[in-house]
Amino acid sequence: MPFTELPSDYTSQTDDDLAALLDGALEAYRALEIGEESSEEDVTAAEVIAAAVKAVRSEQVVRADALAERRARISALEGLDSDETPEPALDGADETAGTPEPVAAAASPVQRAAARTPAIKHPAPAPAVILASADVPGYATGQELDSIDAAGKAILARMRGLPTTRIGEHFARYGAVMLRRPDFGNLAQTAGSDDLHLLRMASDQKRLPGGSLTAAGGWCAPSETLYDLCQLETVEGILSLPEINVTRGGIRYTSGPDFGDIYAGAGSILTEDQVEAGSPAKTCYEVPCPDFEEVRLEAAYVCVKAGLLTNAAYPELVRRVVEGSVTALAHKTNARILAQMEASASPQIQGADGVDNLTAALGSVAWQAEVMRNYWRLGFNATIDVVIPHWLMPLIRADWALRTGVDLLSVSDAEIRAWFTVRNLNLQQVYDWQALTIGASMTASVPAEAKVMLYPSGTWVKGVSDVISLDAVYDSTGLMSNTYTALFAEEGVLAVQRCGATSVVQVPTCVNGNTGAASITECFVHPGGGSAT
């Protein structure tokens, strides 16, 4: 029926006529493209169309409700003409607890008629019914859809009929399918019903087929899913350095005159004879003009992208990756700084010659610290920082435990630290320097040597500058692919030794518990040559 021919009575129209009328009305409405610039004539025509659409939809809903009610009535009559008769009860078969013993009596005509009446089959609970909504092209209002696939096709048909142009700033919602639940019978809530009674009836096991619950083998229930993620990494093992804020991309500095040069060139002692003779001539130390060095910031960054749907459905996964990425960046920055510090030490010093024991080689570390104090005339108790890889600690402990007179079960980290502390050495254990080569089977060989780094405490400084730090970034490019930047952080870092120098001593990692003999026939050989006589 063309839309221009509006019926005076919608109830007299067939379902197909109503569907055709609705399709024509919607097409006419879309052709008008109603908006702020529409003419008064078009707006009036749209109002007429809206009234017709409303009337058609109302009639379709009434017919759908009537159809559902009629189907329910028909379902209630199913099985009425069955020829089945109830089985006669056997003697002693009825043993229901609490039932009094029946009194013998002659069967009345009513009882005999009841015995001949066939048992009425109670229909199984009707499943939910999927019906097509109004305005779905190609489907009558209330038409039953026999599967989920049919419902999907109806939804796609409705979407193809949606307008493709802007229709204002209003939210538009269009129906495609309806899901009608089956009749709940006496479990439906009414105005005068007792809610607690409804709950008891719904949970009564006598309502189940067989009248009771039956224990089945196995757990039956599916395994629980754990969405928490294991996180092992930490930020321990990061080298501790004094930090300064760098705001201009880098720093320029000078170490100034070296004390060794000043000691060699400034000041002298003359005897009385030399003073009277006027020879040699007194010399003055000329203040040198120091050169300035420049160190620029390096950019340490981390970027993590995630799916929008992943973040919505599994936020624990996104958070786990973000936290792990921040920890990974901290350790990579630590490795970079330690490598720069080691590169500044030239040349590296070999530990005591002829010493193949780890504990004995530690004496070389203490000796090198004393060399530094002597060169710069530091205080007797001046602290020298000592940096070792963390894996060297268990080797020291193992060597000490094998030594004579040591309780092999009680060598603690505190005792090892005390060895360094009494020598005015500040011990730092770090990761990311001389990292172990770990295989796929979680095994690693012990390196033949370990490097120990020393420098006057406080001479190395770490410069930092927060360039940019963002938690999440949403951009048009990412939104097109349903992704976003879950983390983007960038930090400027640098490391500089303002004065002094850095030494690296190589020590053997031999663990044998060798203990000094009561009579020592050989002298300890210092790093760089020479022996104590």
Q: Which two tokens stand for residue 478?
A: 């990412």
**Number of Cβ within a 10 Å radius of residue 19:** 24
Query: Is pLDDT at 282 greater than 90 in this prediction?
Result: no
* Lowest model confidence (mean pLDDT) among 150-164, 204-218, 392-406: 204-218
Please state the domain extents for the chain: 1-76+127-163, 243-256+292-508
Average pLDDT value for the chain: 78
Confidence of residue 525 (pLDDT cuts 50, 70, 90): low
3-state secondary structure of 175: coil
357 or 116, greater pLDDT: 357
pLDDT at 105: 46
What's phi and psi for 297, nearest 5 deg?
Answer: -65, 145
3-state secondary structure of 176: coil
Sign of the dihedral defined by the CA atoms of residues 38, 40, 45, 49, in that order: positive
Query: Is pLDDT at 103 greater than 90 in this prediction?
Result: no
Q: How many CA atoms are closer than 13 Å to the CA of 326, on its beta-carbon side?
A: 15
304: DSSP letter: E
What's phi and psi for 277, nearest 5 deg?
Answer: -80, -15
**Number of Cβ within a 10 Å radius of residue 34:** 19
344 or 173, greater pLDDT: 344
Q: What is the CA radius of gyration of the chain?
A: 46
pLDDT at 181: 62
243-256+292-508 CATH fold: phage-related protein like fold (3.90.1690)
- The secondary structure element, H or E, covering residue 491 is strand 483-497
- Give the CA distances from residue 136 to residues 103, 313, 318, in Å, rounded to whole numbers and listed in that order: 66, 32, 41
Closest CA to 491 of 327, 328, 302, 339: 302
pTM over 0.75: no
Give the position of tokens 């001949």.
116
Closest CA to 150 of 127, 135, 131: 131
Please give the Cα distance from 355 to 517 (Å, whole number). 14
Query: Is pLDDT at 98 greater than 50 in this prediction?
Result: no
Q: Do 417 and 480 contact (CB within 8 A), yes or no?
A: no
Q: Where are the alpha helices (DSSP H) in 94-235?
A: 109-116, 148-160, 195-203
Closest CA to 143 of 178, 183, 175, 173: 178
| Paired strand residues for 251 | 295
- The secondary structure element, H or E, covering residue 226 is none
| Paired strand residues for 244 | 463
- Give the CA distances from residue 7 to residues 11, 13, 113, 517, in Å, rounded to whole numbers and listed in that order: 9, 8, 56, 120
* Lowest model confidence (mean pLDDT) among 120-124, 191-195, 284-288, 385-389: 120-124
> Average pLDDT, stretch 114-139?
61
Please give the Cα distance from 29 to 322 (Å, whole number). 51
Please give the Cα distance from 336 to 462 (Å, whole number). 12
530 or 326, greater pLDDT: 326
520 or 99, greater pLDDT: 520
* Lowest model confidence (mean pLDDT) among 8-17, 31-40, 145-154, 305-314: 145-154
Query: Is pLDDT at 84 greater than 60 in this prediction?
Result: no
150 or 71, greater pLDDT: 71
Query: Is pLDDT at 37 greater than 90 in this prediction?
Result: no
509 or 207, greater pLDDT: 509
pLDDT at 118: 52
pLDDT at 520: 55
Q: Do 341 and 453 contact (CB within 8 A), yes or no?
A: yes
pLDDT at 488: 86
Q: Which two tokens stand for residue 202?
A: 């719904």
> Average pLDDT, stretch 57-81?
82
In the chain, % of residues over pLDDT 90? 26
Query: Is pLDDT at 533 greater than 50 in this prediction?
Result: no
pLDDT tens digits, one per residue of 347-364 = 778 765 555 677 778 888
> Average pLDDT, stretch 115-134?
58
| Paired strand residues for 483 | 307
Query: Is pLDDT at 30 greater than 50 in this prediction?
Result: yes
* Lowest model confidence (mean pLDDT) among 107-111, 155-159, 447-451, 491-495: 107-111
Query: Is pLDDT at 124 greater than 80 in this prediction?
Result: no
Please give the Cα distance from 112 to 110 (Å, whole number). 5
Confidence of residue 109 (pLDDT cuts 50, 70, 90): very low
Q: Which two tokens stand for residue 241?
A: 């350095």
N- to C-terminal Cα distance for the chain?
121
97 or 263, greater pLDDT: 263
Query: Is pLDDT at 94 greater than 60 in this prediction?
Result: no
Q: Do 395 and 434 contact (CB within 8 A), yes or no?
A: no
